[in-house]
Structure 1
Amino acid sequence: MKNRLLAQLPQHKTCLCSIYNPHLYIVDWKDYNKGAVEISGAQRNVINAVHILNENNVKVFFDAFPKNALPITKKKRSRQCECVVFPITCDQDEWILFIETKYANSIHAAKNPDSDYPYCMVRQIKETVSYFRMKGIISENKIVHAIIAFPNLMEGFNSWVFPIKHDGIEESILDIRINDKIIIRATNHAQIVDDTNILLLS
């Protein structure tokens, strides 16, 4: 998959890295210090993270999308999520995980209609996955995984995020699984089992 990704998005060579560690922490520094999305084997004290347990030390690639990372034309860009993670062996059968984070400081802020959470987060995931399919980076029938995360919220929030309600339309986790071929959860945690299995932990 790495080769397909870089063939379509050669500019991502500078933001694609590999890592293996029993614990992987993904943070978005944008609101904190205008920094980038990063992955680390060590937990930061100053910012909360999406945590991926990786006890078997599966080596993964991490692509932290910079701003305007997914070009459609010279002037138009696709909406995008924060990043994608996948095993270095990834071809067709291995898991792929897309992640979108928002650093809301309370459930009230996370539910604020003015922010359009969590609908906009799901839309960013969907459009990123759709872009990857359109570009042939992943196949049309590939089932992928996705997380929408609120790292500052410690309690479980999957139950109030789904089903998504927007403009009078309701969409469940099952709807997204069937229509978009995305297994999605609202959580700050995942567990890598091996190259072909990953668990999204509520």
Structure 2
Amino acid sequence: MKSKIDQIFNPEKFIYTSNDSQEIFVADYTERTASVRSVEVHQIKPKDIDSLIINNPTKVNVFTSIFLPQCFIDENGKEPKQCECVMNPTNLHTFSWILFIEIKDCKPSNASNYHKECKEKILENVQLFRDKNIISENKIVYAVVSFPRKAKTNFHNHLIKAPEQKQMRDMHKIIIKGTNEITIKNDRIII
């Protein structure tokens, strides 16, 4: 996926990482550091910020493409909404999972104010990747919306109701989940 991204977009607007640790932590420092730091992927839980936890018990080697500001500027100079990053197994094949991640580091009481915006970012970025042939039109992808400061790890039913969840799957080929913790089962399945 990296080579396709680099061919289409400015490679300097992306940070790439890979690791195969049993736990992966994705943290968004953008708001707290006034953009001095952005999204970071860690193998050890950060002590200074809450993060999305990705359990990886089978130690799949995971490749992450972090989206820096203005990475998706179009030919008209317009910047679409963007989520934080996309992950996939390093040995990507037709049946591999692809995971888009949106993290909102806000006060738990404000989380519901961002539900719509978070879903829009996921939709825009997945569609952009489809439009640019980075991922195929029929590929079902995963998406996680994380509010790391919420004490509950799973707030899925608050983020997306059953009819909208079905619509996301049927119309957009996106399986979306609102949670602060997911598990990589293998290179094909995330739960």
- Give TM-score, length-normalised by structure 1: 0.87
Contact 2:16 2:63 in 1 (8 A): yes
Residues 59, 181 of structure 1: alpha-carbon distance in 2 compared, 3 angstrom cutoff: same
Task: Identify unmatched segments of 5+ residues in structure 1.
Answer: 165-170
Contact 2:13 2:67 in 1 (8 A): no
Residues 30, 13 of structure 1: alpha-carbon distance in 2 compared, 3 angstrom cutoff: closer
Note the C-alpha offset of 1:92.
2.1
Match of 2:79 in 1: 77
Q: Is the counterpart of residue 174 in structure 1 residue 166 in structure 2? A: yes
Match of 1:168 in 2: none
Contact 2:96 2:188 in 1 (8 A): yes
Q: Is the counterpart of residue 159 in structure 1 residue 157 in structure 2? A: yes
Q: Please give the alpha-carbon distance, in whole angstroms, between the structure 1 residues aligned to 2:12 and 2:160.
A: 32
Note the C-alpha offset of 1:69.
1.3
Q: Please give the alpha-carbon distance, in whole angstroms, between the structure 2 residues aligned to 1:137 and 1:91.
A: 13
Match of 1:18 in 2: 18
Q: How does 1:31-180 map to 2 (within 5 A)?
A: 31-33=31-33, 34=35, 35-73=37-75, 75-106=77-108, 108-112=109-113, 117-155=114-152, 156-163=154-161, 172-180=164-172
Q: Please give the alpha-carbon distance, in whole angstroms, between the structure 2 residues aligned to 1:120 and 1:29.
A: 19
Match of 1:6 in 2: 6
Task: Identify unmatched segments of 5+ residues in structure 2.
Answer: none
Note the C-alpha offset of 1:6.
2.1
Q: Please give the alpha-carbon distance, in whole angstroms, between the structure 2 residues aligned to 1:142 and 1:72.
A: 23
Note the C-alpha offset of 1:197.
1.3
Note the C-alpha offset of 1:10.
4.4
Q: What letter matches 2:143 in structure 1?
A: A
Contact 1:2 1:88 in 2 (8 A): no
Quick check: 7-16 or 38-47, which moved more?
Answer: 7-16
Q: What letter matches 2:175 in structure 1?
A: I
Q: How does 1:189-200 map to 2 (within 5 A)?
A: 189-199=181-191
Contact 1:78 1:131 in 2 (8 A): no
For the aligned residue pairs, the C-alpha RMSD in angstroms reads: 1.6
Match of 1:167 in 2: none
